Amino acid sequence: MSEDTLVKRQFGHRARLSLSRSEVLKTDGQAHAARTMWNLLHAWWRMMPKEERTLANADAAIRQAREDIDFLAVLPAQAAQAVLKTYFQAWKNCWDGRADTPNFKGRFRTVMSVDIPQGRDLNITRVHRRWGMANIPKVGRVRFRWTKDLPVGRHANAENRITGARLTKDALGWHIAFRVQTLQAKPEPHQGPEVGIDVGVTVPIALSDGETYEHGEWLTEREQAKLLHLEQRAAQRKRHRKPGEPTSRRLQHTYDQIAGLRAKAKRRALDWQHRTTTAIARRYGTVVVEALTITNMVKSARGTNEEPGRNVAQKSGLNRSISGEAWGRAVTMLTYKTAQRGGALHKVPAPNTSRRCSACGFITPGSRESQAVFVCKNPDCGWSGNADWNAARNVLHLYRMGHALIPAAGRAVVRRAKRVKPAAAR
């Protein structure tokens, strides 16, 4: 196979760790040390003059801090260097306008994580059909859930290997995210049909060919009742806490239980999104979605004291529903999954896709009779059908009309091509 038919691919794979209590304590200590190292770097940065804020000076400061503070010694030296590189990269992202200014990391607001920059330190082996073993510096050999074939042992080489990993902790425990580099055959162009997608709250994903993907509640009725009880208990205990008083152990334990249930719901939502986007990417060669500005859609309607908002509670519920569906995450999944299979994802302008008739192309007041029904009020048309299907057909028609958005210099540019017939005429 020639080099022209091969493409280098880098991706991540997240797996659940099975740690003993002593291993959890060691990993927690490394995560706290990494956070402290970040905060010390930020304090050093703010204290030093601009001409002395160099990578060499920062590295010397880290080495001195590790000698003076015993608490930082639990963090491996390579992990400390990874904190340094991440901090400097955060400033570069800020200067380039891709991120906000780096700041101090709080103990309870920051995700606990430890970086393992060298893949050879992991020494990964598979010991069972469902479990593998990896080496974590200064922790030892630990088990992780084996759910994907990894390039280890005789399958590993210069092109196919694990370049590093990152340990992260959420409410469900510690996980390890491997950084994998592989050399794969370049995918052939996908010969599947084109499809437009409309995302919503009642119907999460509706396709232009009439198919829909829906899901139920992420938590069972028993889990929802338990979550409500825990939230009420936390609110009650919080009322008895005096201003400035630290959080009690009982209240923190309640917060941990709430976070565990919410993390379980998020994990189920991720699983559904992965399965749904994989099915779409396998079936269709061209996927068209709306270019939604989700941050503007979930803004609060509270307003100000001078001009208070209206229907604040209803808007808050809608914002929670929109955030829960995670439309942006689904688009990200579709982007790389279609590319892996030789397909492509395109975005079109979002305005009026749900208000325009997909048969005649007119926008008439009152056509959207309900959440699920669209009836065109144009006297010469009168088409009626499912509202989500109508919007998905409009999304696909915009792409076929040449209104695909091309990112250029940080903004979207509309590409116009030759006109094609309306969706109803095909």
Q: What is the pLDDT of residue 417?
A: 38
pLDDT(229) > 50: yes
- What CA–CA distance (Å, rounded) separates 136 from 151? 18
The domain locations on the chain are 1-186, 188-216+260-426
Strands (E), 113-185: 113-116, 125-126, 131-136, 140-145, 161-170, 173-185
Q: Where does residue 183 fall: left (phi above 0), alpha (psi -120 to 50 degrees), or beta otherwise?
A: beta
Mean pLDDT of 61-73: 88
Q: Give me the residues paired with residue 412 across strands.
A: 407
Q: Do 180 and 163 form a contact (C-beta atoms < 8 A)?
A: yes
Q: Which of 91-95, 264-268, 304-308 has the lowest mean pLDDT?
A: 304-308
Q: List CB contacts of 402: < 8 A, sequence separation 6 or more.
A: 415, 416, 417, 418, 419
Query: Each residue of 313-332: pLDDT tens digit?
Result: 777 777 777 777 788 888 99
Helix intervals (H) in 298-362: 312-325, 327-340
Reported as a pLDDT band with limits 50, 70 and 90, residue 187 is confident
Cα atoms in the Cβ-side hemisphere of radius 13 Å centred on 75: 31
- 277-321 per-position pLDDT tens digit: 999 999 999 899 988 877 776 677 666 556 666 666 777 777 777
Q: What SS3 state is found at 263? A: helix
Task: Show Cβ contacts of residue 214 under 8 Å, excluding neighbours closer than 6 positions.
Answer: 203, 204, 205
The CA–CA distances, whole Å, from 213 to 210, 272, 273, 333, 402 equal 10, 10, 10, 15, 27
Instruction: Mention every residue, 6+ apart, whose C-beta is less than 8 A from residue 192.
Output: 283, 284, 285, 286, 343
> By C-alpha distance, which of 394, 301, 385 is closest to 350?
394
Judge whether residue 141 has pLDDT over 90.
Answer: yes
User: CB-based contacts of 300: which residues, under 8 Å, 6+ apart?
Assistant: 309, 312, 315, 316, 319
Q: What share of the chain is helix, strand, coil (3-state, %, to 5)?
A: 40, 20, 35
Query: Can you give the length of the chain in residues?
Result: 426
pTM over 0.85: no
pLDDT value for 326: 83
Tokens of residue 381, six digits: 């048309």
